[in-house]
Amino acid sequence: MPTTLVYLSGALGDLLLSTPALAAVRHVCAGSTVQLVAPRALAQLYPQLADTFIDSDSARAAALFGPDAAAMLHAAKVVTAIVFEPPASALARNLRQVPNLVVHAVDATPQQCVAQHYSQFVHARLCAVLGDSLPFVIPQPRAVAPQPPPVVPFAVVHPGSGAPRKTAPAHMLATMCHDLHGTHDWQWLIVGGEADGQAVRAFRAAFSRPATVVTNPALPELAWYLRHAQAYVGNDSGVSHLAGIVGARGAVLFGPTDPQIWCPLGATLSIQHF
């Protein structure tokens, strides 16, 4: 069976907003094997989007940029490559040197998106390159319950983000959590990644209710927490994008970025500004 190679890079939020395009690729490539070269997050959250995965940080992925690409692709029976890269990128140029390989370069760099939601932008660019009208479907991520799972109603707050300028002041996040909590009997879980230490400490200092820190949960477990939370509060971050996709209810605080382009998918999260 022929193989279609798909290459996608980016931060978690960009990857999640690109999943409707990846689902469209899966749809149009129903008669072939799909090999996805992407960050590990996609393999963990979306095993249904490809038959095989290659970590974009691995040596195998790096080989796509060098002289061994042809041998690697021919061994895997790759006949088509769809790369979410500009046509003049190093990867696209190198793959065009591979004999008998059809290369589609989808220029979906965020800087090009100015007038529509980024997920729609990526999907539209893919359709234009392939010359086909493909369905826009938001695929659901894999969710795995932590062990042991929480036994009381809980709410989730993610006080960090990918950049300090996108991180709302801790007191604003705390006030929003207090307002959502009201008279509910919820346990609050503070989700923190490797780079969120300072934001977590600032939020704990500003938040007067008891809270438990959940540090670096596996992404399928994070999807489960967000799907089952009574409420969610966060910044413009990959975690908030995951919250939107799984249908979490709550609010996301936006600062310098445009929510018309970057708001989480779904209709359950309200957008606030700081």
Q: Which residues contact 27 (CB under 8 A, 6 or more apart)?
A: 134, 135, 137
Do 118 and 173 fall into the same domain?
Answer: no
- CA pair distance 92, 72, nearest whole angstrom: 16
Question: What SS3 state is found at 142?
Answer: coil
Do 96 and 35 fall into the same domain?
Answer: yes
Do 123 and 177 fall into the same domain?
Answer: no
- The secondary structure of 4-48 as a DSSP string is EEEE----HHHHHHTHHHHHHHHHHTTTSEEEEEE-HHHHHH-GG
Overall domain count for the chain: 2
Domain encompassing residue 223? 154-273
Residue 143 in any domain: the answer is no
Do 68 and 174 fall into the same domain?
Answer: no
Do 163 and 110 fall into the same domain?
Answer: no
Residue 139 in any domain: the answer is no
Residue 135 in any domain: the answer is no
Residue 138 in any domain: the answer is no
Q: What is the pLDDT of residue 1?
A: 87
Residue 106 in any domain: the answer is yes
Do 124 and 169 fall into the same domain?
Answer: no
Do 121 and 167 fall into the same domain?
Answer: no
Tell me: the pLDDT tens digits for 238-262?
999 999 999 999 999 999 999 999 9
CATH of the domain at 189: 3.40.50.2000
* DSSP 8-state class, residue 249: -
Give strand ranges (E) for the chain. 3-7, 33-38, 52-55, 78-83, 102-105, 154-158, 187-192, 211-215, 232-235, 250-254, 269-273
Among 98, 114, 130, residue at a domain's last position: 130
Do 70 and 172 fall into the same domain?
Answer: no
What is the value of pTM for the model shown?
Answer: 0.96
Tell me: the pLDDT tens digits for 160-219?
999 999 999 999 999 999 999 999 999 999 999 989 999 999 999 999 999 999 999 999
Residue 98 in any domain: the answer is yes
Do 158 and 118 fall into the same domain?
Answer: no
Mean pLDDT of 43-58: 98
Do 126 and 8 fall into the same domain?
Answer: yes
Residue 148 in any domain: the answer is no
Do 108 and 16 fall into the same domain?
Answer: yes
Tell me: the pLDDT tens digits for 57-105?
999 999 999 999 999 999 999 999 999 999 999 999 999 999 999 999 9
Residue 87 in any domain: the answer is yes
Tell me: the pLDDT tens digits for 130-143?
999 999 999 999 99
